A = this chain, B = another copy of it.
């Protein structure tokens, strides 16, 4: 890319980030909130409106009734598709540029294994979604995909995922890109979940957040200074693999006593030999079964230690908890938070902020769509030209 295009892209990026932050903003406010001249802002917003990324709306301001022209994202032209591939389901969402979910679909994949079987379902889901997007006269900007991590980001593959046979090294990103002719990004599902909060959920005004997803496994997604952090090997935020029980059970990752070995759903049930579901454990505890009560008590002790470690190592402004285990934990969270407050630095204790995830089962799919929105905001010129070229090839 030549120099002038780079400057243009970087200035457009500044404008788009501001508009995302404010939802609606006038050109005058854009001049105030950026270091760009009003001339640059006039030219670039004009171009972004022509490209159907932005649109103007009129608002009447408060007391004096003066009309102001506001800029916001155009919700009518572009769509992004977010897909989440997990061990038990496939979720799809279609979003507009304001982050509104226009359409969603889910398929249960229990008992179904391997990329071929998954691709068959994905093909149907995406074809359906594209059909309605076409029918509405809209265009797809790209496809984001959340997958069980760790992933090799450069290759677009999943790296040796435990309990997910057939996927190790499978060139998922390339396959999907070929299949659908869409700009495609893949990411660890804990990281997409974190991004969903950052862009469309509780994290809009939060610079440092950690998303923790607890279910069959435990994963984490870290946002630092507003940006998703991957780390050197794509392993940043593997909170499920911090040591909680010294010299504990051997974990799939190679370590012993990982939080996941005692705090995930299988980890919890492995400590209670009298049943095979959380519901059974819960009802046994309610009826006074001492072993069930101890199993839940220990689960909370592990959760507390993990939360302390997350707080002291990342110092986030917000920790968001999600995943299929969360609903069971929700009842205990007031108790847990109270105990945590006495265990973190006194001067920071009132700043502890733990919330439940916003998007429930769609969390990772919403974040997968947000991967494309992030791309649009950081490299608009590049994404739009890539997206255009894909359409021409079809």
Q: Which residues of A contact B (CB under 8 A)?
A: 3, 6-7, 35-37, 150, 159-160, 207-208, 220, 224-225, 227, 229-239, 241-247, 253-257, 301-302, 305, 308-309, 311-317, 342-349, 351
Contact = CB atoms under 8 A, between A and B. Distances in A.
Most B CB atoms within 10 A — which of A234, A256, A311, A351? A311
Contacts of A237: 313, 315
A308 B243 contact: yes
Contacts of A207: 232
B342 A312 contact: no
Given A150-B347, A224-B229, A255-B343, 13 more contacts: A6-B35, A159-B345, A160-B345, A160-B346, A225-B229, A230-B315, A231-B315, A231-B316, A233-B315, A234-B315, A241-B312, A243-B244, A246-B301
5 contacts: A208-B231, A224-B229, A234-B315, A235-B315, A238-B312
Most B CB atoms within 10 A — which of A7, A160, A236? A236
A345 B254 contact: yes
Most B CB atoms within 10 A — which of A232, A239, A344? A232
A348 B246 contact: no
A158 to B, nearest CB: 11
A359 B186 CA distance: 41
Given A35-B7, A231-B208, A344 B254 contact: yes
B245 A246 contact: yes
B344 A253 contact: yes
Instruction: Across the A-B interface, give the 4 residue pairs with the lowest CB-CB distance, nearest first.
Output: A231-B315, A235-B315, A236-B315, A243-B305
Nearest to A316: B232
Nearest to A240: B312
Contact of A351 (B150, B233, B345): B233
A194 B354 CA distance: 29
B232 A343 contact: no
A347 B233 contact: yes
B315 A246 contact: no
A37 B2 CA distance: 10
A227 B181 CA distance: 37
Contact of A254 (B233, B244, B301, B342): B342
A338 to B, nearest CB: 13
A349 B35 CA distance: 45
A243 B309 contact: yes
Given A243-B305, A246-B244, A314 B346 contact: no
A175 B13 CA distance: 41
A293 to B, nearest CB: 17
Contact of A242 (B6, B246, B313): B313
